Every structure is written in structure tokens, then in C-alpha cells.
Amino acid sequence: MSTNPGVVLILVAEPELREQADRVVAAAGLRPLAASAPLSRKAWSAAAAILLDDETARRCERDGLPRRDGVILVASTEPEAPTWAAAIAVGAQHVCALPAHDGELVRHLADAAETALEGPRTGRVIAVTGGRGGAGASTFATALAQIPSAALLVDLDPWGGGIDLLLGSESVPGLRWPDLSLRGGRLAWAAVRDALPNHRGVSVLSGARHGHEMDAEAAGAVIDAGRRGGMLVICDLPRRMTSAVAGTLDCADLVVVITTCDVRGVAAASASAPVLRGVNPNVGLVVRGPTPGGLRAAEAAEVAGLPLLAAMRPEPMLAERLERGGLRLRRRSPLGAAARAVLSVLPAGSQVRAA
């Protein structure tokens, strides 16, 4: 169905708030079109953007209207918990208080109109897992997320203690997995981004200090939102094959296996490689030093039967730095160099090629 990039549907029950919304839409150079619920799916999908308030957002969610981009919830006061809950339920990308956030709403409407003309952006998904326990998969996933200017880091390990501790974002406010209640479906990236903690450009959905199983549909919805938002999505996976892990492996553009450069690490990676490739053929290996027995990274990759993405020498004082404020990549960091090497394979095509 074609989208009209010049029309904004106004589904706002409160008269004064509706007048304010009309004014802002006109200021953005777009045409406001008053509507009321129930709304047809055709009308819901055709507008460049849709403005809702709490009441109409809950009504549209109950009517089962499909999630779409360009949905914005407006309020007459600063949003509180019920407003955010309504926004997430309907898949709103932004929440704006009017008239305080008039300027923000104008920008959001302009972005929605531009997206309606040009189409959505598409990001990439990388799944990271350990060839053996303690190989450093979570640390490497955190490093990958710090290379671009912005990324989404998704913690899918219920027993990892929370990847926010590795990132150093444990004190940053925002939702963690135990706070998130989703039924799957399509989520707007901007709404997910605004709800999550952000630390130095990394939006992170972290686990908790106690075990909390991640729902597969919710994980898929969050990852899909990041991909459609044009983000690099990094997923830290446990070695156990949960339903969330299987779904993430299936949708990933690249699966990265981290192993230590010793006999036991390579043997464990060799055992897991066929299982991973049974879900996603696009699997590559990162080998982490030191090499106590003199085993070379290329030899480890050959034994594991996986293409070598990067060989990483030991990172000086890494454990101490992680204990003091989380990971921050240094200029000549071996970890950072290996992460950049892995990211460099993404534009090469759908199949991984050996480094």
C-alpha cells in the first residue's frame, strides 16, 4: 500500500491537545487529518504519521492495529509511567508533551515524512557466543557495540549477571529484561531506544543479577526494531540453545564464535560449530590469546572447521579495567582491533569469507 508523505492522522480525544497537535503538524509543513477510532487498517497504514493520546493509543492497541513506523503519542503534561506503557503497547516511536516539546514533534514529523518517501533504513545483526565457557564472548560483544557511533547491545544470557556491568552502565536508568513485558510483534526503534539505558552511544537491553529467562518473541521484536532502525545490533548469546537463542541465530547476518587458543577451547568450538551452522551457515571464529601450547590461530580455525575472522593477542590489564567502570576501548586495543576486523566482513556479502 502506498503511503501519503504529506498527511498526518490526528487521533486525539482531548480537544485542546488536538488543537495543539493540529498547529504543530501545520508548522511542520504537513496536512493534519482528523480521525476517530475504530480506524481501518488502510487508513492506519496510509498516513505518513499518526498522533495519538493515551486514550486513543490504548483503543488502537485493543483494536489490533498492526505496528508501524511514524506513530507518536502526545500528552498535555510530562509523560509518566501510564503514558509510556500506552506508547509501548501501541508501538509509538516517540512521546511528546505539548506545547513543551513542539520543536521535537516537528522534527519527528519531518523524519516520518522523509521515511515515507525514502523507505526505512536497514541495520545488521551480529550474534556472539563462546566456543567454551569463559572464552570472553560477552566482553567481545561489548567491544563490538562500542566501535560504531551508535549500536544496540542485547543480553540474551539469563545467567550472565547482566552485560550492563561489562559496559559500565549499571547505574544508568532505563529498562532491563525483568522490566520488559512484550507480546512480540513489531516495535518502533525510537520507542525502544528511548526506554533503554544508553551509555556512550550504546543502547543496552541487559539481563539482571538473578536469572531471568528471555522470551523469544520479545527478543525477536527488540532485535527487529533495532535492525529496522538502521542500527548495528549485537546479541550476546549463552552457550545453551534456548528458544530466544535459536531465533537470534536464525536472523543474524553473522554469528561470531569466540574461543581461547588452547586445546580445550578449540575442541569445544569444534563441537559447537556444526550445531550453529545447522541454524545459520554464516559462522566465523575469533581466536583469543594467549597461546600456552604454541597453537596458531589459523590452526585453531582449521581444526574447528570455521573461517578465521580475527586473531586477538591478550589485552593488557583487561580484567582490572572491567572491574573499574566497565569496558572502554583504548586506541591500540587488541580487543578493538579484533572487533573492527569482524565488522569489516559485514559489507562483503551474505557469506563469511576467511580473514
Q: Does 257 lie in the same domain as 172?
A: yes
In a domain, 354, yes or no: no
Cell of 317: 590489564
Q: Does 140 lie in the same domain as 105?
A: no
What is the structure's pLDDT at 335?
A: 94
In a domain, 353, yes or no: no
What is the structure's pLDDT at 114?
A: 73
Residue 137: Cβ within 10 Å count: 27
Q: Does 334 lie in the same domain as 300?
A: yes
The number of domains in the chain is: 2
The answer to whether residues 73 and 54 touch, using CB atoms and an 8 Å cutoff, is yes
Name the pTM for this structure: 0.67
Q: Does 258 lie in the same domain as 343?
A: yes
What is the structure's pLDDT at 185?
A: 60
- Scanning the structure block, which residue is given the C-alpha cell 508523505? 5
CATH number at residue 166: 3.40.50.300
Q: Does 208 lie in the same domain as 170?
A: yes
In a domain, 207, yes or no: yes
Q: Which of 118, 141, 160 is the endpoint of a domain? A: 118
In a domain, 212, yes or no: yes
What is the structure's pLDDT at 184?
A: 55
Q: Does 263 lie in the same domain as 128?
A: yes
CATH number at residue 71: 3.40.50.2300
In a domain, 335, yes or no: yes
Q: Does 24 lie in the same domain as 153?
A: no
Q: How far apart are the first and last CA of the chain?
A: 43
Q: Does 84 lie in the same domain as 129?
A: no
What is the structure's pLDDT at 181?
A: 73
Q: Does 106 lie in the same domain as 129?
A: no
In a domain, 109, yes or no: yes
d(CA 73, CA 51): 6
Q: Does 95 lie in the same domain as 162?
A: no
Task: Compute CA distances 328 → 202, 320, 323, whole Å.
Answer: 12, 12, 11
Residue ranges in the chain modelled with pLDDT below 70: 1-5, 118-121, 183-186, 211, 347-355
d(CA 34, CA 163): 45
What is the structure's pLDDT at 3?
A: 57
- Its domain, for residue 313, covers 124-348
What is the structure's pLDDT at 349?
A: 42
Q: In the beta sheet, which residues pair with residue 199?
A: 202
Q: Does 114 lie in the same domain as 190?
A: no
Q: Does 143 lie in the same domain as 39?
A: no
Q: Which of 118, 147, 170 is the endpoint of a domain? A: 118
In a domain, 355, yes or no: no
Convert the pLDDT of each residue in 161-197 to its tens digit: 999 999 999 999 999 998 887 755 667 788 889 999 9
